[in-house]
Structure 1
């Protein structure tokens, strides 16, 4: 859900029309799946060799959750993004769209359209902003197949959810606090896994409570600057 707000920011920043958003999401999400698959197999290999890395993952989730509470709406500045700076320094970037084309040739020179930048940012920022989701799933299972397929279905679900949630993004301004709480809870769960395995029912109940509370609070508490 948090990724959807990032996608909205990218589309707004680059002025992507509603017609082109579907095309950009499809290609960008396919790229995100490839990048996630690489991270998952690397993570699985590390866990098999160094079991203690699960504690590192747990601590990382807690840190991420705390950062989200401190800056719940910090999506970053795309102009200072290292990837954007690299593209601007190494590629010829056009300021005009050419339909869904990623590049065009003008006077024998290839130029990359804003659609190319949007798709690259969708794929890369999905992994950056969702780097917490992979350790979180390893808290449930260490089977690489389950971790990979759950990530694939989650990312594919993003495309379907995007157009549903995009219209409600402003209504649930406290959702990031609920997501932060979930990350901290899962991180703590990973850190105490060798001492006490939290029952599945309790885990699901806590996640539902944290997300549900943030949604309800968003309806009753006014947004502040």
Structure 2
């Protein structure tokens, strides 16, 4: 049996890149009769540099780019950073650090993803360590891990579902975020009554699926 290092689920090396297909629906509606408008685009994540950090390791600098489709040029979206040590992976999304993975990896492991950002405690759960995973686009990965960041399945007031899937030697292959508030007392004069329809009033529905990866 080939041993797969836990560290390989989040490879960090200057020049590494991943390209994803993103489907995103941003929601801010006054009535449930208003149509939702989904967006589809490509996202590129590129490790472009590294610097020594105070922990004695390296922090890797990341640019994220978007484009409407493969016929368009990439446009820079923002800059993130990531660091990895023997115990954990910390990703700075903008200026907010999140503990994305912890080591050693084992199904059922819990940790506070907000350890370093001062937000309320949020328990992440590791599941399906070492399991194979097939994406909706048909791509198969033989060894993956799923991190459930939140799974509040409340379809009346507020839904919060966030998961990320990582593959050995690849990194993040799938991300899903569904954060929705639902219509409550919205039966005003002349408006469609939205109460109890399970229609979202505000929030986001977002999926990010790996399309390709490599090195520049």
More helix by share: 1
**TM-score by shorter chain over 0.5:** no
Q: TM-score, normalised to structure 1's length?
A: 0.24
Q: TM-score, normalised to structure 2's length?
A: 0.25
